[in-house]
Structure 1
Amino acid sequence: MASCILMQFPGTSDPTVTVIATGGTIASTADAQGARVPTLDGAALIAHSGTPIPTRVIDSTSLDSSSMRLADIDELAGHIQEAFADPTTSGVVVTHGTDSMAETALALDVMLDDERPVVLTGAQLPADDPHADGPENLAGAIALAALPAQQPGVQIHFGGMTLPARGALKRHTYEMQAFTSSATTPLSRPRPVGVHRLAGKNVVVIAAWPGAGRAEVDAIVATRPDGIVVAGLGAGNISADMGRALGECLQAGIPVVVSTQVPFGPVAFDYGGAGGGNTLGSLGALSAGYLSPGQARMALTVALASGTDPAVLLA
């Protein structure tokens, strides 16, 4: 169960930053086997950051972000709404693991409609590392959240850089500047659709590879997915057999979004053939644009949960 702690609060009318902790490397220390495990709560993270800015702390969950479920994102979005219901809240910071930080950021970005800043941050090194980067990242994120937002939407602050959530992706497994954007200029942000319950939606990501067959698509269809995101090759192409199987999904009314495994640049429906993007687009498949497969999954999930045309959140 989430808990709320007031760390610094000089007066009832003073603005504060709400810090919501969810675990991740920033909260991790080594166990007896040397494995990194989330152990620190939000209060400890704030204390280590050394920030002088007044904060409130909510411990939402404590997990590796590779295990972040839609239900956990629902809980996180609820905490942010509660924080923004308080007029003294100047902004919100979310501490989060790096594995799925960009995905959570995109989900929040297309749902939350508030002018106050929401900033996600984390760490590449655990809290007990002598060169831990978490305290500096968190202090910087809190400083951003204490000021009026410099640009609309959810942000990621990491390694001295601040990026918009839309188009963000993890670029390196260990370097301190872990995140970048798939686009060279900020992407247009669609109008937020409001917070909706995501848990229960089943949007699946399937990776393409040269000469892939249809067995994996057929296996996914058997689970009755609400939607499918394919991580295609190049500008958004897949093998002919996989393309034919996804064409049948589209005919059956299952939404299909085509993304790419290439880290930079947009999907382009240029190529023909059964697995070409042009062919899939003509059958009703949607382009993920600059969104990574993970971010495209979140956009489609929110669209389905909110009854929004997926093309609006993917554009």
Structure 2
Amino acid sequence: MTSRLTVLATGGTIAGIAGSAIRHEYRAGEITIDEYLETVGGLGLGAELSGTQIANIDSANIGPVEWRALHGAASTALGDGACTGVIVTHGTDTLEETAFLLDQTLPAHKPVVVVGAMRPADAVGYDGLRNFANAVRVASDPEAAGRGVLVVMGDRVFAARDVYKVRTRGTEAFRGFPRESVGLVTPASLEWFGAPWRNGTAAAFAFPQRMPDVAIIYAYAGLDATGVRRQLGEATQGVVIAGVGEGNMPDAVRQELVALAAEGVCVVRASRADEGLVDLEDEDDANRFVAARALNPQKARILLQLLIASGESDPAAIQRAFDGR
């Protein structure tokens, strides 16, 4: 059976142009999805591809407006009986955030694969075509269903919950934590490292009408309460502290966040370390703090936004949601 895949394009390096095969600088989001699908049409990928241009921008500019449009288009595609899977082309800078948001707000009954590139389309060693071919391979595999949103980069398949960008150059720019890759893929082969893990197929959250204001505060030596307050606005409903070590912070910062939590601001302790597992500490309950567990600060922010948007404000309930991710 031929796979019928919907490709939702948002721009990024995979659609970028440098104007020279060896130039470092380039313009993201220059190639349209129609042009891209015409290029890949001769690769013999064995799937019927149809494309929709959601945006054509640098992923540093991705935000709630683009996320809403992308989620709506993905939901429509997944609800189409003729569509067997969805591929999202995306810039790598915020790819992990978009993938995680979609993972939490889309059902898992069909494959959804996010893919990008580290080099623009006219560069020597362009990795986008291979990554895209690999994404087609994954999205065409019935075994990809039930795994939530997947990310394909550098011949590896990652779960959206685990994936994060670790390098600014080179094609092996992504890793996974606490799980590394969940599969290996080439245009001709695919190997999974385990069975699908999503219990049920429904989305964990409805896509919110508005993304609540949640700030990420990066902890560093010498950060004080004034430095915290400068980063918060009147509309801030949540704070994720990208703490040192296992979600730690200077005493003055802790005191400020305890006061904010007492006022009803949701506070989550995460780690600025690449592989930072943050456990709940004895004083967290008294402080009304939540431990991010294995989620990095940017993903913890998205989960907290979804929880707040769904009406959740109880730290214990929020902690259970983080424990379940």
TM-score, normalisation: structure 1? 0.87
Deviation sequence 1:204-233 (CA, Å, 0-9, x none): 111001231011322234332121111001
Structure 1 counterpart of 2:271, one-letter code: T
Deviation sequence 1:176-208 (CA, Å, 0-9, x none): 121111214779768732432254421111100
**Does the CA contact (< 8 Å) of 2:214 and 2:239 recur in 1?**
yes
Structure 2 counterpart of 1:159, one-letter code: G
- CA displacement at 1:115 relative to structure 2: 1.1
The CA distance in 1 between the partners of 2:233 and 2:11, in whole Å, is 34
Aligned pair partner of 2:261 in 250, 258, 267: 250
- CA displacement at 1:86 relative to structure 2: 0.9
Work out whether 1:113 is the aligned partner of 2:107: yes
User: Could you say what secondary structure the match of 2:231 adopts?
Assistant: helix
| 1:134-145 equivalent positions in 2, closer than 5 A | 134-145=128-139
Work out whether 1:235 is the aligned partner of 2:246: yes
The farther-off stretch of 152-161 and 302-311 is 302-311
Deviation sequence 1:19-70 (CA, Å, 0-9, x none): 0000110011126994323111112222333334101101001111111112
- CA displacement at 1:78 relative to structure 2: 0.5
The CA distance in 2 between the partners of 1:104 and 1:149, in whole Å, is 22
Relative distance call for 1:62 and 1:262 in structure 2 (3 A) is same
Q: 1:18 aligns to what?
A: 6
Aligned pair partner of 1:98 in 87, 92, 99: 92
The CA distance in 1 between the partners of 2:32 and 2:133, in whole Å, is 16
Q: 1:44 aligns to what?
A: 35
Q: 1:305 aligns to what?
A: 309
User: Could you say what secondary structure the match of 1:54 adopts?
Assistant: strand
- CA displacement at 1:306 relative to structure 2: 2.5
**Does the CA contact (< 8 Å) of 1:166 and 1:189 recur in 2?**
no
Q: 2:214 aligns to what?
A: 203
How many residues are matched? Answer: 296
RMSD: 2.3
User: Could you say what secondary structure the match of 1:38 adopts?
Assistant: coil
- Give the gaps of 5 or more residues in structure 2: 183-195
Structure 2 counterpart of 1:25, one-letter code: T
**Does the CA contact (< 8 Å) of 1:247 and 1:280 recur in 2?**
no
Q: 2:185 aligns to what?
A: none
User: Could you say what secondary structure the match of 2:294 adopts?
Assistant: coil
The farther-off stretch of 176-185 and 111-120 is 176-185
The CA distance in 2 between the partners of 1:226 and 1:131, in whole Å, is 45
Work out whether 1:290 is the aligned partner of 2:294: yes
User: Could you say what secondary structure the match of 1:43 adopts?
Assistant: helix
Work out whether 1:260 is the aligned partner of 2:260: no
**Does the CA contact (< 8 Å) of 1:259 and 1:267 recur in 2?**
yes
Relative distance call for 1:198 and 1:155 in structure 2 (3 A) is farther
Relative distance call for 1:87 and 1:111 in structure 2 (3 A) is same
Work out whether 1:213 is the aligned partner of 2:231: no
**Does the CA contact (< 8 Å) of 2:12 and 2:90 recur in 1?**
yes
Deviation sequence 1:83-129 (CA, Å, 0-9, x none): 01210111000001111111111111111113101000000000111
The CA distance in 1 between the partners of 2:197 and 2:124, in whole Å, is 40
- CA displacement at 1:235 relative to structure 2: 0.8
- Percent identity of paired positions between Structure 1 and Structure 2: 28
Aligned pair partner of 1:80 in 52, 69, 74: 74
Work out whether 1:182 is the aligned partner of 2:177: yes
Aligned pair partner of 1:146 in 140, 144, 147: 140
Deviation sequence 1:122-142 (CA, Å, 0-9, x none): 000001112110011011101
**Does the CA contact (< 8 Å) of 1:71 and 1:198 recur in 2?**
no
TM-score, normalisation: structure 2? 0.84
The CA distance in 1 between the partners of 2:143 and 2:304, in whole Å, is 26
- CA displacement at 1:14 relative to structure 2: 6.1
The CA distance in 1 between the partners of 2:301 and 2:19, in whole Å, is 33
The CA distance in 1 between the partners of 2:246 and 2:130, in whole Å, is 37
Relative distance call for 1:179 and 1:145 in structure 2 (3 A) is same
The CA distance in 1 between the partners of 2:129 and 2:2, in whole Å, is 24
The CA distance in 2 between the partners of 1:147 and 1:124, in whole Å, is 25
